[in-house]
Amino acid sequence: MKLHFLKQLVKPISLNKVINKKVCIAPVFCCLALISGCSTLVQVPALYETPPVISPDDAADDPAIWLNSAVPSQSLIFGTDKKSGVYSYNLQGETVGYTELGKINNIDTRSVDADTYIVASNRTQQSVDLWRFNDSAMGEAAAKGDFSLPATRFMQGQSEIDIYGACMGLDKRLGLLAFVTEDEGPRVEVWKYTADGLKLLHTFDNGGESEGCVYDDENRTLLISEEEVNGVLRAYPVTEALDFSNPLIIDSREGNIGGDPEGVTLYKTSATEGYIILSSQGDSKFNLYNRTAPYAYLGSFEVGEVGTVDGVSITDGVAAINYPLNEDFPRGLLVVQDNDNISKTTRKPRRQNFKLISFSDVIEALQLK
């Protein structure tokens, strides 16, 4: 992480929010590392956290968000336990469902008309798993606080790689897509949803092992973070030709990425504008970039320990939405995986979980528009 010594004097961040509806917190201050030994990055709080996942060690991985357009405050969050299955959570981080589905690594959603599609990478069966739900039925279940993914998938596609990460896209020309990455390999598969099943359209080389990805539907751009070999975030323009030979490198370890780039997501401010959010895993921070080329770096932040919720470290998956959901999330929600999940009483790591952050706090901390 590069240290910028000038103009880094602290700026108080207003965090007078109620955490878990119980604890009111005072302002949090950032400070210069050379003066006090703490991080130079601005910090934002997590308003809520989920219970720890059932599996020990490195288990919680990737979140996804379903927008309940009829009742936004009853939207759902999905989170993978990559050793056992998928959790469903409400906007307070409370568990409303869990299904043992095998080694589900990554998960993503798209809503089309009155239906929602959920895709996941299944490392037990080396498959691309797809569920389809009617939005009204999901809304009824969410209102009751009881929604789980069924064990029976709507569709499955058998991957030709050692499957790893996954993300969805709704392309105006190609339709509903899924992109899946390879564990310990550079290949990325492109799948298409059809009435007859999932169809493998194309496989390309991303340069090295990759996991985190997100598809920008409106800008027809695939963003993939390559981990171990080069440590870069790439942007691929997508056309009907499926030519992935000329990506643009957005950032790398030589720039603003510490260690591995991991989860990547979008926060949209208009149809085509907004922010790319990347987990810079090696230094436990989150980088923001402009959503459109040349993808200017806008700054970084940490999720700090505030009130009853501990800070976030070594994050894998991330997910964001720009919709006003409720009073806690008036400008949208960011969900991030937390590796250490430090206990407030013992100060020791617990089983991993997910943290919920108001995007209003991110906007304020980084003085975004």
What pLDDT does 346 receive?
87
**Alpha-carbon gap, residue 290 to 296, rounded angstroms:** 5
How far apart are alpha carbons 149 and 153 in whole angstroms? 9
Q: What digits encode the pLDDT tens for the residues 145-183?
A: 999 999 999 999 999 999 999 999 999 999 999 999 999
- N-to-C CA span, the chain: 25
pLDDT of amino acid 37: 42
Give CA separation, 280 vs 45, 136, 145, 232, 259, in Å: 18, 37, 34, 10, 7
What was the pLDDT predicted at 29? Answer: 36
* Unique residue bearing structure tokens 């020791």: 348
How much of the chain exceeds pLDDT 70, in percent?
A: 89
pLDDT for 180 equals 98
Which residues touch 252 (CB under 8 Å, ≥6 apart)?
230, 231, 232, 233
pLDDT, residue 229, reads 87
Burial 226-253 (b: 16+ CB within 10 A, else e): bbeebbbbbbbebeeeeebeebeebbee
What are phi and psi for residue 138, nearest 5 degrees?
-65, -40
Closest C-alpha to 151, from 86, 64, 80: 86
pLDDT at 43: 96
Q: Rounded to two decimals, what is the model's pTM? A: 0.89
d(CA 61, CA 106): 7
What is the token pair recorded at 293? 């080329």
Burial of 151 (0-12, 13-18, 19+ CB in 10 A): exposed
Strand order in the sheet with 42-45: 42-45, 297-304, 285-290, 274-280, 261-268
pLDDT at residue 64, as a whole number: 98
Predicted confidence (pLDDT) per residue in 281-292, tens digit: 999 999 999 999
Distance separating alpha carbons of residues 242 and 239, to the nearest angstrom: 6
**Which of the four CATH numbers 2.60.40.2470, 1.20.20.10, 2.120.10.30, 2.30.110.10 does domain 18-365 have?**
2.120.10.30
Give the pLDDT of residue 38.
Answer: 54
Low-confidence ranges of the chain (pLDDT < 50): 1-37
